[in-house]
Amino acid sequence: MNIAQYIDHTLLKPAATTHEIKNLCDEAIQYNFFAVCVPPPLVKNARRVLANSSVKTATVIGFPFGYSVGRAKLIEAQQAIQDGADELDVVINLVALKSEAWQYLQMEMEDIVEAAHANNKLVKVIIESGILTNEEIIKCCEIYAKVGVDFLKTSTGYAEKGATIEAVQLMRQHLPSNIKIKASGGIRTYEQAEQYVKVGANRLGCSASVAIVTGAPQNGAAGY
């Protein structure tokens, strides 16, 4: 399995530097990762480094907690598109979810998906599956399938629990085949990465990407 082509090589720490983003992009080119995922202010930097490669540029919207108002997320998404992002990883409003404000969640993402798809960009919706019940995960599958997102994504990597095999399996069971799944949060080894792909993940968000593809020690790297 060419696991590298499933990986979004990720650096989202709040104090990320331009030098670190250049290194991230250089590694993505070297190991042929599918994409890099970087903080919104560093999208332009990543695009410059990746300009002559096939590696895509992804960024995050409403990250990491998701409780920005919908209008703020839309503006953030529009700016990311303008800056050159190919893919948007958008955190849902978990306050709304826990309040069962399903219509709000649908409307919030409809505007972002419309803006992204009008510019041929992909939207991955982060539902933070580790803190949801199975019933809430299934409801997210229903809502975001209706909206027409490109991916449902498990986690930000900032909650107390990240991706699980069970959550990916549940998502795959309740999503139409055209909507893909991104697993992220705690994936640190090749064996873990391969298992997620086998149960239905189409993309993996990882900060330990180089260790995953080379088998090298992680030196304490955080597992996004």
**Mind listing the pLDDT tens digit for each residue in 61-78?**
999 999 999 999 999 999
Domain-embedded: residue 222: no
In the annotation, is 182 catalytic? yes
Domain-embedded: residue 77: yes
Domain-embedded: residue 208: yes
DSSP state of 189: S
**Mind listing the pLDDT tens digit for each residue in 102-118?**
999 999 999 999 999 99
Distance, in Å, from the CA atom of 186 to the CA atom of 63, rounded to the nearest integer, reads 17
- What the block records as the tokens of 38 is 């970087």
> Average pLDDT, whole number, for the chain?
96
CATH number at residue 7: 3.20.20.70
Domain-embedded: residue 220: no
Domain around 114: 3-214
Query: Catalytic: which of 56, 73, 121, 182?
Result: 182
Domain-embedded: residue 98: yes
| Coil, helix or strand at residue 89 | strand
Domain-embedded: residue 221: no
In the annotation, is 26 catalytic? no
**Mind listing the pLDDT tens digit for each residue in 118-129?**
999 999 999 999
Domain-embedded: residue 135: yes
Domain-embedded: residue 24: yes
Residue 12 CA to its chain's centroid (Å) = 11
Look at the chain and report how many structural domains it folds into: 1
Beta-bridged to residue 122, according to DSSP, are: 87
| Mean pLDDT of the 33-43 span | 98
| Coil, helix or strand at residue 221 | coil
Distance, in Å, from the CA atom of 179 to the CA atom of 199, rounded to the nearest integer, reads 15
In the annotation, is 73 catalytic? no
